[in-house]
Structure 1
Amino acid sequence: MKTLYLDPFAGISGDMFLGLLLDLGVSIATLEEALAALPVSGWRLRAQPERRQGIAGTRLLVETEESHHHRTWQDIDKMLAAAGLPPETAALARRIFRRIGAAEAKIHGIALEEVHFHEVGALDSIVDIVGAAAGLLALGVDQVICAPLPLSQGFVRCAHGNFPLPAPATLEILRGAPVMDGRCEFELVTPTGAAIAAEVARFGALPPMRVLRSGYGVGTRQLADRPNLLRGILGESCADGGDRDQVEVLETHLDDSNPEWLGALMEDLLAAGALDVAYLPLQMKKNRPGVGVRVIAAPKDGATLAERLLRACSAIGVRRQVAERFKLEREAAEVETPLGPAAVKLLRRDGKLLRVSAEYESCRRLAQASGRPLPEVYRLVERAADDFFRDRE
């Protein structure tokens, strides 16, 4: 698995991320070709090698002729949707802008549709975000992992006045993400950089991998205590007996919920993107029987699902923790049986088939159509699949 690991020891911004992509081998022509699809003009990219405290990297300069801008989130979203960008590039850029827009809406207490971008609506920011989406896809990585982001203290001047650091939008964008004290009075993580990291990466430690190359995106400011660089490590994940990733585990305990509500809650959470939902019997205080709710979520969905839990049941608190998940390799397949075709999952480890698992919905349909008991259909499907696929491994 080709992995990009982001090491933001001096933070992350849109131009630092673009510089890093170029330093890792993405051509500036690739970015320019994607950006040419935008219905805007007056921009130019210029890449140059620079050093920060003796370490060489690539600095990308976005030069624009724009002196004034007035763009809403809707303006930018519609522009990206209609721009003729490659579908994956457009979708990723729109998600990044939506993440920023949602944060601005929350901070200012307005609807997303009412958000007017100032700094992020400027042409150079549009170029940063669309270029980041195009460049990352051109790099061809399977996953991006990011170390905790360093946040600053102090103030930054923006269109609304002097904002405290970290900027409110940055904090909102990073809700649920691991951060650390950057011990710096200058802005290390910009809203654009935070949104890129939060949208494209999962946060975690450097995984076992074979290093292919490293690169550095150069930031504008000269920092006294560290080189102002965004480091990226490109590598191939080492085989460790299976795939692995990170999930968020959300938990809450209930002793006053109607069971009918819990049935609807499970369906609602799964429909909203939960990977799994389970109810556990509990004996709670005051001798009350209770229910433990456990939700497994992708890191990007953890905060949303925690909020949904608080609103959709009687929970007054939700615990969140990040857990590493080891997974078998899974492949969907179909097998012919005497009752008709049936869907199965092939489960492998290091490419070797370990077992075949029948899919419930497929077996249920065969059981209803044939009048046979469901356990008998399961055995029939798994036996047919085992004979068919093991002969071909």
Structure 2
Amino acid sequence: MTTLYFDCFSGISGDMVIGALLDAGADLAQMEEELKKLKIESEYTITQKSVNKNGITAVKFDVNVLNENEHHHHDHSHSHDHDHVHDHDHSHSHDDHDHSHDHHHHHDHRAYKQITDMIKAAGFTEAVTNRSLAIFKKIGEAEGKIHGLPLADVHFHEVGAVDSIIDIIGAAILIDQLGITSIHCSPIPTGSGHIHIDHGTYPVPAPATLEILKGVPIARTSIKGELATPTGAAIAAVLAQSFGTMPSMTVEKIGYGAGTKTFKDHPNVLRVVIGKE
């Protein structure tokens, strides 16, 4: 049994998960090769670099979403994840949104069904496919509930869609690659205060994040700002079999994944611990 423990003392986001798994020894090149099965590699580049967060060396993973004429760097900071879902305009027909069979590389947004069709058509291993679909479903259902939309009508904003697709499927690929058989997670601090998103000023945790974390223990923290993003919350909520302290295991690998923000009093990193139970 190879066990993975997410130690979320500073929250969790999709890029922190991938950074931590890469730091623990997972293979970026193999992940990139697998991600090509999605046939959207013209839409993004990915980078991995070593950063120092309050004295801890960690891997910062970034998805850089490319626009047609410019290289648009979208940072995954814990405050941008909410731009991902936009209520689409009901005044035009839904046919406008059915881009699933065309090859335009720059959609304004992707519908939930297009993303699931893309994952199913890619030919990943069964474990990667199932985990990716389950995580997307968790986010889609939460966003649908908040916006009052059925799952089929939930749309992911372009930059957000590419970010989420790479973070979620990339995480599933790396977990598969590392031969993980069980996943556990600490309680999740969500942060506190308020964030500004397209629709106005929202409390932290944002509504979608809180919806995703139903049934998951949330840890109290005095840190102002958003620590858990919808993507990170969904990865933990869907994949972890239990939430609590670290399970008994012989530790073999440790990885630190950096978040975008830097806090004064603690390192903004996600720690993953991998070992044999």
TM-score (norm 2): 0.81
1:147 to 181, 186, 205: 186
1:82 aligns with 2:83: no
1:225 aligns with 2:265: yes
2:163 to 107, 113, 124: 124
Q: Which has the higher contact order (CA 8 A, sep 6+)?
A: 2
Q: 1:238-259 deviations in whole A, cap 9, x for unaligned?
A: xxxxxxxxxxxxxxxxxxxxxx
- Percent identity, please: 46
Ranges in structure 1 where 5+ consecutive residues have no aligned partner: 238-393
CA drift at 1:122: 2.5
Where does residue 60 of structure 2 map in the other structure?
59
Q: Distance in 1 between matches of 2:127 and 2:253?
A: 25
Q: Distance in 2 between matches of 1:162 and 1:82?
A: 38
Alignment map for 1:290-329 (pairs within 5 Å): none
Aligned residues: 237
TM-score (norm 1): 0.58
Q: Distance in 2 between matches of 1:42 and 1:166?
A: 30
1:131 aligned partner, one-letter code: G
1:58 aligned partner, one-letter code: V
2:249 to 206, 209, 213: 209
Q: Distance in 1 between matches of 2:22 and 2:183?
A: 16
Q: Distance in 2 between matches of 1:184 and 1:233?
A: 24
1:186 aligns with 2:219: no
Alignment map for 1:343-354 (pairs within 5 Å): none
Q: Distance in 2 between matches of 1:69 and 1:186?
A: 28
CA drift at 1:23: 0.6
1:16 aligned partner, one-letter code: M
Q: Distance in 1 between matches of 2:253 and 2:110?
A: 39
Greater C-alpha Rg: 1
Ranges in structure 2 where 5+ consecutive residues have no aligned partner: 73-106
Q: Distance in 2 between matches of 1:169 and 1:119?
A: 18
Where 1:163 maps in the other structure, the secondary structure is strand
Where 1:220 maps in the other structure, the secondary structure is coil
Where does residue 81 of structure 2 map in the other structure?
none
Say if 2:65 and 2:159, in contact at 8 Å, map to a contact too. Answer: no
Where does residue 6 of structure 2 map in the other structure?
6
> Which aligned segments of 4 or more residues in structure 1 are displaced greater than 6 angstroms?
none
Say if 1:120 and 1:126, in contact at 8 Å, map to a contact too. Answer: no
Alignment map for 1:108-123 (pairs within 5 Å): 108-118=147-157, 121-123=160-162
Specify which structure has the higher proportion of strand.
Answer: 1
Where does residue 214 of structure 2 map in the other structure?
175
Where 1:211 maps in the other structure, the secondary structure is strand
Q: 1:251-294 deviations in whole A, cap 9, x for unaligned?
A: xxxxxxxxxxxxxxxxxxxxxxxxxxxxxxxxxxxxxxxxxxxx
Q: 1:341-369 deviations in whole A, cap 9, x for unaligned?
A: xxxxxxxxxxxxxxxxxxxxxxxxxxxxx
Q: Distance in 2 between matches of 1:121 and 1:78?
A: 18
Q: Distance in 1 between matches of 2:210 and 2:154?
A: 17
